[in-house]
């Protein structure tokens, strides 16, 4: 956080001449937008190997958060932006991410979901800080569409990374580009030299109700001469239907079988949803080698109000990727559980 505060100060000082240069009409008050989302579920977890983990029923958070966005117009073509988002683990009554479970009392872990400063222009946006990564946005997000805690696991990439500098272009004739460079490969900081950088690039092309995208995630956290993840996604939308596919493959120097990043490991996802009155029916079938393997995810969202919905989901993995002990997280990951299934009933309230 100290580094982020220093960077924010440097960015502010560096942009001071721009602020002085703009005319009085452009120097309007900053815009602030406060928001939040409470997402809580009751789940019944049934592991395949009960000698490794007992079945249980418990509460679990599904990525609740509160945040603030801000924007300050420097002129008609240039604006400063900022965002701060805090995770809330409603199942454990803690200020932390329910998966990473790093909070303000620990030296490592994800204290914040998002902490970023940016500069937006007609030519694109530059952003620094912990932010959503361009590879995830283009490749993994199209199939990360469920409401429960178990959404988003069927991919090899990370969602958000601290100390990241990114650029995203505006869409031009359907084509958009984004790139990022990070000082660390994941949300958890490391003193290891092999965990000192990560870069990504992604491109997408939209036409009609279809969008296709390709990306590269060069990971700096495995200590191999080559450690890249290549991805492709495609989505098609109609008024009520949504269909998405995702394909990822590792190219690494790791040739040991059975590892998360073994060379040639592949993830294939097919996701579809359909809106039927106030219900959205969702289904994903995935094959993610060495991280869940065969995955079936089915769910129904029911809208009670514009900002309130309830959901019911069934999640099944043949190898362990998401299942943990009661209200556990990343530190409780145990591959020897060898898969299982979970049924979740939950509520989501946005404000």
Interatomic CA distance for residues 221 and 157, integer angstroms: 12
Tokens coding 252: 């690494």
At 25 the three-state DSSP class reads helix
Give me the tens of pLDDT residue by residue for the chain, a chain 351 residues long.
Answer: 444 444 444 444 444 444 444 444 445 789 999 999 999 999 999 999 999 999 999 999 999 999 999 999 999 899 999 999 999 999 999 999 999 887 655 544 457 899 999 999 999 999 999 999 999 999 999 999 999 999 999 999 999 999 999 999 999 999 999 999 998 655 444 444 445 589 999 999 999 999 999 999 998 765 666 789 999 999 999 999 999 999 999 999 888 888 888 999 999 999 999 999 999 999 999 999 999 999 999 999 999 999 999 999 999 999 999 999 999 998 888 889 999 999 999 999 999
Interatomic CA distance for residues 344 and 311, integer angstroms: 8
Interatomic CA distance for residues 62 and 20, integer angstroms: 44
Q: What is the phi/psi pair of residue 328, to 5°?
A: -80, 180
Tokens coding 313: 């989901």
**Whole-number pLDDT of residue 220:** 72
Beta strands in the chain (DSSP E): 31-47, 56-61, 64-75, 78-88, 114-121, 124-132, 160-168, 175-182, 198-207, 210-218, 227-237, 241-252, 266-276, 279-288, 293-305, 308-317, 340-350
The CB density around residue 193, as the number of other CB atoms within 10 Å, is: 8
Angle at 234 between CA 228 and CA 236, to 5 degrees: 165
Interatomic CA distance for residues 219 and 184, integer angstroms: 9
Number of separate domains in the chain: 1
* Nearest alpha-carbon partner for 222 in 202, 193, 249, 200: 193
Tokens coding 207: 């036409």
Question: Domain of 255: which CATH number?
Answer: 2.40.160.10
pTM tops 0.75, yes or no: yes
Domain assignment of residue 333, given as a range? 2-350
In the chain, what is the greatest distance between 2 CA atoms, to the nearest angstrom?
A: 70
């Amino acid at each position: 956080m100290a580094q982020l505060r220093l960077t924010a100060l440097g960015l502010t000082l560096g942009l001071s001449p721009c602020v002085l240069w703009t005319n009085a009409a452009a120097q309007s008050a900053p815009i602030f937008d406060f928001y939040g989302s409470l997402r809580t579920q009751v789940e019944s977890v049934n592991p395949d190997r009960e000698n490794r983990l007992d079945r249980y029923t418990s509460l679990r958070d599904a990525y609740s958060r509160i945040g603030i966005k801000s924007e300050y117009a420097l002129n008609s073509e240039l604006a400063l932006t900022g965002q701060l988002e805090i995770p809330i683990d409603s199942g454990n009554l803690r200020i932390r991410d329910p998966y990473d479970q790093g909070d303000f009392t620990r030296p490592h872990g994800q204290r914040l979901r998002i902490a970023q400063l940016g500069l937006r222009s007609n030519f694109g946006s530059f952003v620094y800080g912990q932010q959503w990564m361009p590879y995830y946005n283009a490749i993994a997000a199209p199939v990360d569409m469920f409401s429960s805690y178990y959404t988003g696991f069927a991919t090899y990439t990370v969602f958000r990374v601290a100390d990241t500098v990114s650029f995203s272009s505006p869409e031009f004739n359907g084509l958009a580009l984004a790139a990022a460079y990070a000082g660390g490969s994941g949300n958890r900081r490391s003193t290891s030299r092999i965990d000192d950088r990560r870069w990504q690039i992604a491109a997408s092309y939209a036409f009609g109700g279809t969008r296709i995208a390709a990306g590269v995630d060069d990971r700096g956290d495995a200590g191999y001469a080559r450690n890249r993840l290549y991805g492709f996604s495609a989505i098609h939308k109609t008024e009520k239907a949504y269909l998405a596919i995702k394909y990822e493959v590792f190219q690494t120097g790791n040739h040991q079988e059975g590892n998360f990043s073994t060379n040639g490991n592949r993830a294939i996802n097919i996701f579809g949803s359909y809106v039927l009155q106030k219900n959205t029916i969702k289904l994903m079938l995935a094959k993610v080698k060495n991280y869940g393997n065969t995955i079936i995810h089915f769910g129904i969202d029911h809208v009670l109000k514009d900002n309130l919905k309830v959901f019911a989901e069934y999640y099944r993995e043949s190898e362990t990727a998401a299942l943990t002990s009661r209200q556990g997280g990343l530190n409780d990951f145990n591959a020897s559980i060898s898969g299982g299934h979970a049924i979740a009933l939950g509520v989501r309230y946005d404000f």
